[in-house]
Amino acid sequence: MARGARHLLGPLRRRWLALGRRARVRPPAAVRRGGRAGAARVRAGGHAALELAVRHPVRVLAVGVALALAGWALDTQLEVESDITQLVPADLRALEDLETLQEASGIGGTIDVLVEGEALGNPAAIGWMVDYQQRVLDRAGFGDERGCGEAAVCPAFSLPDLLAGATQPGQEAVRPSAQAIDALLAAVPPYFSQSVINAQRTKATLSFGISLMPLDRQQEVIDEMRTLANPPEGLKVELVGLPVLAAQANAEVSSHTRRVLTLIAGLLAVALVLLVALRTPRRALVPLAPIVLATGWSALVLFVSQVPLNPMSVTLGVLVIAISTEFSVLLAERFRAERADGLETAAALRRTYASTGRAVRASGITTIAGFAVLVVSDIRMLRDFGAVTVVDLSVSLLGVLVVLPAVLVLSEHPGRLRAGLRELRPRRRQPA
């Protein structure tokens, strides 16, 4: 039976194989020639860069350091885009609903001011809340002529609003007594009053509506509200709510100091791991040299190209350090192995970059190409993230392929570093 089945299926199987062979379409000749030409140009460029680093390592390193210094100086000028309306598609349903809400109500979120104290129902505490609310609204530009649509902050339901019939801001004489406040709060149903003050009268809230704005501007408004608080003795004030958390998180992520400290921490962690694994400071630190310089190059390219950072891309440096360090360590260790086999420095570098360097170059280019796909996204946050990733990985790969050979040459021949530095010094003119 099995032999009969094979006999019946044999012609069908041969037909399928023939169709499969005919379906194999080779790329056009022009495409094949273009691919070979592009690969040849990449190899030629890599070979020229390697020869330049071998012959003039000090000059290559000096140019790299100068560009990195310029990038580090300009890093503080990089823009961080935090406006959610600019980072997501304009036709996103959630964003459209949020904009509709703001057009109808004038607000896009709510900030709550939590007030804690022993007796928040006394006239002094109520008077401070009324005055504080008015100061915040005045600073935000809210008034009869400018409603919620034009002011950064608007009033929302809070304890002063509940007592609005018995108090008037700035007029001490009409503020009610403790008995009047107790009577008014007792007359209000608990399910209504508990949204602004608890039953023990130890916690109360003042709510403010905030318009839709960039997170950095939102943080400025929150800081102004904190500054205006200045509560009297016995009262504790804290700003809470989702807008407060979002603005604080953005401020921490976007902070230049925090970004630099994160990069330094990542480099130190990698250096410590390499020191433990390789056991000698030179073997551990030499591969990191181009990675350190690449952080400055990246900032320089981003500043020149005016590609803004965002909450996603601003933390990308640590990922790039991890990827680039792997490439750098592979090349440095292969170079050490070639030197151990008796090759001279230049020959060891040429063999290293002809073998391992080719694999690193191919891996780096494919990684960059993968992230480059994000550049065509219709979501700006992903598009900018892809652009920043491409820049970071490109300069890191350039550092591994160009600067690392120069650093390896100088680590093997420290005398060339001293001689090269002497050549770079401006020569004094001899008197006529």
> Which domain CATH number covers 276?
1.20.1640.10
- For residues 110 and 79, state if they share a domain: no
Looking at residue 31, its pLDDT comes to: 42
**Which of 182, 212, 242 is the endpoint of a domain?**
212
Nearest to 200 by CA among 100, 294, 120: 120
The answer to whether residue 30 is domain-embedded is no
- For residues 380 and 272, state if they share a domain: yes
- For the chain, which residues score pLDDT lower than 70? 1-46, 84-92, 94-99, 101-106, 144-147, 149, 164-176, 416-432
- For residues 269 and 364, state if they share a domain: yes
- For residues 263 and 196, state if they share a domain: no
Looking at residue 23, its pLDDT comes to: 42
- For residues 267 and 404, state if they share a domain: yes
d(CA 293, CA 401): 13
- For residues 262 and 355, state if they share a domain: yes
At 14, list the tokens: 């041969």
Q: Exposed (0-12), middle (13-18) or buried (19+): which is 193, by Cβ within 10 Å?
A: middle
Please indicate, yes or no, whether the overall pTM of this predicted structure exceeds 0.95: no
The answer to whether residue 238 is domain-embedded is no
User: Which DSSP symbol is given to 160?
Assistant: H
- DSSP 3-state of 413: coil
Residues contacting 124, CB < 8 A, separation 6+? 232
Q: Kindly state the percentage of the chain with pLDDT values over 90.
A: 18
The answer to whether residue 171 is domain-embedded is yes
Residue 107: its H or E element: none
At 231, list the tokens: 């509560």
The answer to whether residue 188 is domain-embedded is yes
**Which of 192, 212, 232 is the endpoint of a domain?**
212
Q: Amino acid letter at 386?
A: G
Asked if 154 contacts 142 with a C-beta cutoff of 8 angstroms, the reply is: yes
Asked if 137 contacts 153 with a C-beta cutoff of 8 angstroms, the reply is: yes
The answer to whether residue 92 is domain-embedded is no
Looking at residue 68, its pLDDT comes to: 92
- For residues 415 and 331, state if they share a domain: yes
The answer to whether residue 349 is domain-embedded is yes
- For residues 325 and 417, state if they share a domain: yes
Provide φ and ψ at 303, rounded to 5°.
-70, -45
- For residues 304 and 354, state if they share a domain: yes
The answer to whether residue 132 is domain-embedded is yes
- For residues 156 and 276, state if they share a domain: no
- For residues 67 and 185, state if they share a domain: no
At 278, list the tokens: 């390789």
Instruction: For residue 275, give its domain range.
Output: 49-83+256-421
Looking at residue 32, its pLDDT comes to: 47
Q: Alpha-carbon torsion 241, 242, 246, 247, what sign?
A: negative
Provide φ and ψ at 120, rounded to 5°.
-80, -5
- For residues 119 and 76, state if they share a domain: no
How many domains, the chain? 2
The answer to whether residue 114 is domain-embedded is yes
